[in-house]
């Protein structure tokens, strides 16, 4: 069952916003006629409908959206003429969040090649395997990325190419965007590819729902803190470009610097993962200029949702998705006020199912494996297994109950690390916590936990065990509890469970 907002609700809200008024649609047609349905056309459309001149900026430079599109056209012509880049050819794009990376992405889309977004923080051995797997001969690596990692491929700096180009760029024919390939996090092996066509109508449905639900037509500027090589960060950027909103990028997330940007009044919307929200809150005052916090990429702890609501008001949205299925569920501030742990309801074009190990539907309130069918996924007609355990309440809201492959068998008892983490995070003196299974000579596996105390608080292991006992079953209490200053994180900000398990073992 879908249980999401109706299409009529989405269309009515969009009509009230004015985003689909005739003038805007005419601007879109003109942009598509000029260059074809690709990301350059989207940037030109955004520039034409922006209520005020829109910019894309990072620490070093800012550029207007129409100038960004012009630069991408020039870069696309260089790739075509000097490097013979063809439509459908795989091109790697690797770098931090900055204008140069976005310029490269738009240029690859403009020439119709397949853009493969690479995580620069992966080990060199994994990057080499990915280049071989995807048959990548050319990599666009803005800045000093190529100096850090020897790619052993033709590696091009987009800014250097544009600086050396003194001639007038030849006109490019209209062309349809190639695929954009987003890779999974890679914490449990070589990242897998999730391919999507940039201009698919199914993606448009998803974006229209997000625009309507998050009321993005009312927002002025967005800070995209999530890495652009992740699907969530990429989606946030593309929506900002399409709406003609100023977008801010930063190569590294710094909570204090982000809070200063927000406090200056330049930003009213941020796209973050929960870890970033946790780090930001101590630097944010009560209320403030934030009107929309979009959290995604990792589970949102109920306690964190309550804390954001108390400090910032009803501004938090929780997105759920996977690399293969795409963004699939959305929880609004109203949802989180009623049920802080919810991941919300399906977005337009998505249906979900919760099934038991035999593949049969699980009744409302029961826990089972979460399956998603999303028209904007890598396989629009297929049910995709998310890898998460979930339940659905009678009102249609969904809740996560950890990963299906995280449940450990210890001494004959099944233990879900997620359930233990949820209880630990409800402790008033704990800022962060994670539980993982580690090898045990007697029980096969045992549960170990790492906790981070809140600033100014002291957590004692013995007292924490005593606090846990009335709240969870005895076999769920971690055999090992370790106090840490921080938890290991992946590049996007999720807890790196493999690294944590190795440390705790």
- Whether the predicted pLDDT of 63 surpasses 90: yes
At 205 the pLDDT is 73
CATH number at residue 325: 3.40.50.12780
Indicate if 191 and 280 belong to the same structural domain. Answer: no
Comparing CA positions, the residue from 201, 200, 208 lying closest to residue 7 is 208
What average pLDDT does range 73-93 have in this prediction? Answer: 95
Last residue of a domain, one of 342, 368, 395: 395
Comparing CA positions, the residue from 361, 503, 377, 485 lying closest to residue 431 is 485
Q: What angle do CA 45, 47, 49 make, to 5 degrees?
A: 70
At 223 the pLDDT is 97
d(CA 263, CA 224): 16
Indicate if 181 and 56 belong to the same structural domain. Answer: yes
The rounded radius of gyration (Å) of the Cα atoms in the chain is: 23
Indicate if 175 and 49 belong to the same structural domain. Answer: yes
Using alpha carbons, list the distances in angstroms from residue 471 to 45, 184, 474: 54, 35, 9
At 193 the pLDDT is 67
Q: Is residue 363 part of a domain?
A: yes
Give the bridge partners for 101, in sequence order: none
pLDDT band at 478 (very low <50, low <70, confident <90, very high): very high
Indicate if 175 and 98 belong to the same structural domain. Answer: yes
Indicate if 59 and 177 belong to the same structural domain. Answer: yes
Helices 65-83 and 99-110: crossing angle in degrees, nearest 10, is 60
Q: Is residue 233 part of a domain?
A: no
d(CA 47, CA 65): 5
Give the bridge partners for 322, in sequence order: 326
Indicate if 349 and 424 belong to the same structural domain. Answer: no
Indicate if 388 and 478 belong to the same structural domain. Answer: no
Indicate if 304 and 155 belong to the same structural domain. Answer: no
Tell me which of 450 and 166 has the higher pLDDT.
450
H-helix or E-strand containing 283?
Answer: none
Indicate if 164 and 283 belong to the same structural domain. Answer: no
Q: Which two tokens stand for residue 41?
A: 């056309």
Q: Is residue 239 part of a domain?
A: no
As a whole number of Å, the end-to-end CA separation of the chain is 42
Half-sphere CA count of 264, side-chain side, radius 13 A: 10
At 1 the pLDDT is 47
Q: Is residue 230 part of a domain?
A: no
Number of domains composing the chain: 3
What average pLDDT does range 341-355 have in this prediction? Answer: 92
Q: Is residue 219 part of a domain?
A: no
What average pLDDT does range 417-446 have in this prediction? Answer: 88
- Whether the predicted pLDDT of 347 surpasses 80: yes
Last residue of a domain, one of 196, 216, 244: 196
Residue with the two structure tokens 């900000």: 493
Q: Is residue 9 part of a domain?
A: no
Q: Is 360 exposed, middle or buried (0-12, 13-18, 19+ CB in 10 A)?
A: exposed
Contact 275, 494 (CB under 8 A): yes
Indicate if 412 and 341 belong to the same structural domain. Answer: no
Q: Positive or negative, the Cα torsion across 220, 319, 436, 191? A: negative
What average pLDDT does range 149-166 have in this prediction? Answer: 84
At 186 the pLDDT is 46
Q: Is residue 1 part of a domain?
A: no
- Whether the predicted pLDDT of 187 surpasses 50: no
Indicate if 346 and 377 belong to the same structural domain. Answer: yes
Q: Is residue 214 part of a domain?
A: no
Structural domain boundaries enclosing 96: 31-196
**Worst-scoring range by mean pLDDT, 94-103, 140-149, 209-218, 352-361?**
140-149
Contact 291, 302 (CB under 8 A): no
Indicate if 177 and 269 belong to the same structural domain. Answer: no
């Amino acid at each position: 069952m879908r249980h999401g907002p109706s299409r009529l609700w989405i269309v009515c809200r969009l009509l009230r916003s004015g985003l689909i008024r005739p003038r805007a649609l005419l601007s879109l047609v003109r942009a598509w006629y000029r260059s074809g349905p690709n990301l350059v056309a989207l940037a030109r459309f955004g520039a034409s409908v922006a209520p005020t001149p829109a910019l894309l900026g990072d620490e070093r430079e800012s550029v207007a959206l129409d100038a960004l599109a012009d630069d991408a056209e020039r870069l696309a012509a260089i790739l075509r003429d000097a490097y013979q880049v063809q439509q459908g050819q795989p091109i790697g794009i690797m770098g931090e969040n900055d204008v140069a990376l976005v310029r490269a992405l738009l240029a690859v889309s403009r020439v119709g090649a397949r853009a493969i977004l690479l995580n620069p923080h992966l080990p060199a051995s994994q990057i080499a395997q990915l280049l071989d797997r995807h048959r990548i001969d050319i990599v666009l690596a803005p800045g000093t990325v190529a100096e850090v990692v020897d790619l052993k491929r033709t590696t091009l700096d987009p800014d250097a190419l544009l600086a050396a180009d003194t001639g007038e760029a030849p006109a490019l024919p209209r062309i349809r965007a190639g695929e954009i390939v987003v890779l999974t996090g890679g914490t449990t092996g070589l990242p897998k590819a999730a391919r999507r066509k940039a201009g698919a109508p199914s993606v448009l449905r998803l974006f229209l729902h997000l625009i309507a639900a998050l009321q993005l037509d009312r927002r002025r500027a967005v800070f995209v803190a999530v890495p652009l090589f992740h699907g969530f960060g990429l989606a946030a950027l593309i929506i900002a470009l399409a709406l003609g909103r100023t977008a801010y990028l930063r190569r590294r997330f710094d909570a204090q610097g982000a809070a200063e940007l927000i406090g200056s009044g330049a930003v009213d919307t941020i796209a973050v993962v929960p870890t970033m929200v946790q780090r930001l809150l101590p630097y944010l005052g009560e209320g403030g200029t934030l009107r929309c916090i979009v959290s995604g990429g990792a589970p949102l702890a109920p306690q964190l949702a309550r804390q954001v609501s108390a400090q910032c008001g009803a501004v938090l949205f929780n997105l759920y998705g996977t690399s293969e299925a795409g963004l699939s569920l959305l929880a609004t501030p109203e949802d989180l006020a009623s049920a802080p742990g919810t991941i919300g309801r399906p977005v337009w074009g998505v249906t979900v199912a919760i099934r038991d190990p035999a593949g049969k539907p699980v009744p409302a309130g029961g826990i089972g494996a979460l399956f998603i069918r999303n028209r904007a996924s890598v396989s629009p007609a297929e049910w995709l297994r998310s890898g998460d355990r979930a339940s659905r309440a009678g009102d249609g809201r969904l809740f996560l109950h950890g990963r299906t492959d995280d449940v450990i068998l210890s001494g004959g008892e099944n233990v879900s690390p997620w359930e233990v983490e949820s209880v630990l995070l409800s402790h008033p003196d704990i800022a962060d916590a994670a539980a993982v299974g580690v090898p045990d000579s007697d029980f096969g596996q045992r549960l170990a936990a790492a906790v981070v105390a809140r600033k100014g608080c002291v957590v004692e292991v013995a007292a924490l065990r005593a606090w846990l006992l009335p709240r969870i079953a005895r076999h769920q209490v971690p055999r090992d509890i370790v106090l840490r200053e921080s938890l290991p994180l992946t590049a996007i900000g999720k807890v790196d469970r493999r690294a944590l398990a190795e440390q705790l073992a």
